[in-house]
A = this chain, B = another copy of it.
Amino acid sequence: MSVSKPSTDAQRPRRTQAERSETMRQRILDATLECLQKDGYGGTTVSRIIEVAGVSRGAPLHHFPSKSALIAASAEQLIRRVYIQMGKAVAKLQGSEDRLHDLIYSAWKNVFNRPEHIALHELLVASQRDQELAEILQKVWTAGYFTLGNAADHYLEPIGDQANVRDMMILTQWLLRGMAEDLHIVANRKLFDRYLKLWCEMLAVHLRARAGVTEPPPRPPQWDSSPSNDS
């Protein structure tokens, strides 16, 4: 219900305006993402957001010109978060014995089978009727393509000559996305593990670990800690 309230503000009664403003802005963004995840796109109303954030009704529109701008800013932040997390996860696979399996599982566990992905997916679906959102969500394509694609290209190599590592990672992402949509339909969670394993076996026909890779994959360009500069 609450999103990171400032510890005890008796401790620091004085903060600069910029500080106040930034924490408030962040609090609203976090509350929006929490709403998207728990209540869906349709349930993400201003009333609900301010309830979760614990702020007044006017606060969100003081920082964002409209609700759709707030959603857009939340989307940008979420995409960055999700794929940075994934980038970090796939950077720790040098010591793995079965790199293909661990890469796929890492993508599943760190992206598609996460609460954050629910919010991201809500936005993706909403973007079918919202041009502005669609342009932002295109970054998911790019982000996924490079994060998973680069990592796979770094750790794995094709076995045959017509196989292509990056293409198979694109198929992987579509598959995992489709799987994630059945999480609430299919009760038996172990089923998903079974099919994930089957998918790894199908990939293993065409991909194998590169020999002697001890370095983590190169980091994507600007994705370190650019705060949140948007609209």
- A residues near B (Cβ < 8 Å) are 39-43, 118, 121-122, 124-129, 134, 137-138, 140-141, 162, 167-168, 170-171, 173-179, 181-182, 184-186, 195, 198-199, 201-202, 205-206
Contact = CB atoms under 8 A, between A and B. Distances in A.
B125 A121 contact: yes
A40 B134 contact: no
A125 B39 CA distance: 12
Contacts of A198: 167-168, 171
Given A171-B198, A195-B171, A134 B178 contact: no
B170 A195 contact: yes
B124 A181 contact: yes
A154 to B, nearest CB: 21
B185 A178 contact: no
A141 B185 contact: yes
A128 B184 contact: yes
Contacts of A124: 181, 185
Contacts of A178: 173-179
A41 B122 CA distance: 12
Contact of A175 (B42, B174, B185): B174
Nearest to A170: B195
Contacts of A121: 125
Contacts of A177: 177-178, 181
B171 A43 contact: no
B138 A185 contact: yes
